[in-house]
Chain A
Amino acid sequence: MILFTLYYEFFKIGLFAIGGGLVTIPFLFDLATRYPWFDAKLLSNMIAISESTPGPIGVNMATFSGFQAGGITGGIIATFGLVTPSVVIIMLIAKLMKKYKDDERINKTLASVRPAVLGLILFACYEIAKISIVDIKTSVMFMVFFVLIFHFKKNPIIYITLSAIAGVVFKI
């Protein structure tokens, strides 16, 4: 039964997360409030791991969340759920690709979805900030990393490694 729920929930995410892997994150936060599978803290850890491992972050997140809910089978089912809508939709529109891409109505609709989705991601950022930036130590650390990341556009893995070390050293 849990596998069916997993498949259904991730099918919905695959259908509505328009714009790539990062967009799945707000949907996962929504899942965290509705099911006991994982909490915001674990979800934030999963984001960091998914960013630093090979494979698309959206797919990694789906496997991860599914695993928390139902072990290895859960991970597989959640991932299948996530990609099912893409696979069906892409195959359906494959023949009319060019037309689809140049359709003014579709473009205009998407131009409106993108900023809205941005709001979703920002809201997810806020959710993570609430549980991770909690005192002076973490606030200072946040500001340092914020400046570093915006100033030197380096690979995220470098910052994730640095922050892990900082976390251990300063006992965050």
Chain B
Amino acid sequence: MMPLFQNELVKKRQYITDEELIDLYSIGQCTPGIIAVNISTFIGYKMLGIIGGLFSTLGMISPSIIIISIIASFMKAFMDNEILNHAFAGIRVCVVALMLNIVYGLFRKSVTNKFTFTVFLMSLFLLFQFGVSPIFIVLLSAFTGFLSENVKKIRSNKAK
């Protein structure tokens, strides 16, 4: 997705610069929602305000809505096809391996010290042991991160 953004918006149309795009990518990662959507909203908003933000977002999601709706309607018709069922059974095995590969990449980027490793283990423990909801995990980890930062600040203030 990023090379496409760069080609269309930086090189061809010059809506934004390379640096801005990199900034946007990192901001898109730390704001809720889909990164590509966040980036398009921001660019649209920057150029034409609220209307611009709404329309660039609409542009970003339209192909998905159209293509997936078409595929989903066909899928319903072919659900009983035996060959297709075998194909999908094979694909599901592959999806596990693909997702593990992505998890591995993210793990190396985000689990960098004792603290982050502990949070990772806690999240797994709560999920497997108690089946808590994903929202609970996100809120709890955000709270933990926020708290640990403030505790550090108070400690360093006291030391002074």
**Chain A interface residues (CB < 8 Å from chain B):** 12, 14-22, 24-27, 30, 41, 44-45, 47-51, 53-56, 58-60, 63-64, 67-68, 72, 75-76, 79, 82-83, 85-87, 89-91, 93-94, 97-98, 100-101, 104-126, 128-129, 131-133, 138, 141-142, 145-146, 148-150, 156, 159-160, 162-168, 170-172
Majority DSSP secondary structure for residues of B touching A: helix
Cβ-closest 4 pairs across A and B: A167-B90, A112-B145, A119-B123, A86-B33
Q: Known contacts A112-B145, A118-B103; decide if A44 and B110 are in contact (CB<8 Å).
A: no
Given contacts A21-B34, A167-B90, contact A116 B137 (CB under 8 A): yes
A-B pair number, CB within 8 angstroms: 317
Contacts of B97 in A (CB 8 A): 142, 145-146, 148-149, 159
Which of B60, B73, B102 is the most central at the interface, judged by chain A CB atoms within 10 Å of its CB?
B102
Q: Are B67 and A121 in contact (CB under 8 A)?
A: no
A12-B135 contact, Cβ under 8 Å, with A68-B72, A97-B27, A101-B26: yes
Shortest Cβ distance from B145 into chain A, in angstroms? 3
Q: Give the interface of B toward A (CB within 8 A).
A: 1, 23, 26-27, 29-38, 41-42, 45-46, 50, 53-54, 57, 60-61, 63-65, 67-69, 71-73, 75, 83, 86-104, 106-107, 109-111, 115-117, 119-124, 127-128, 133-135, 137-142, 144-146, 148-150
Residues of B near A156 (CB, < 8 A) are 98
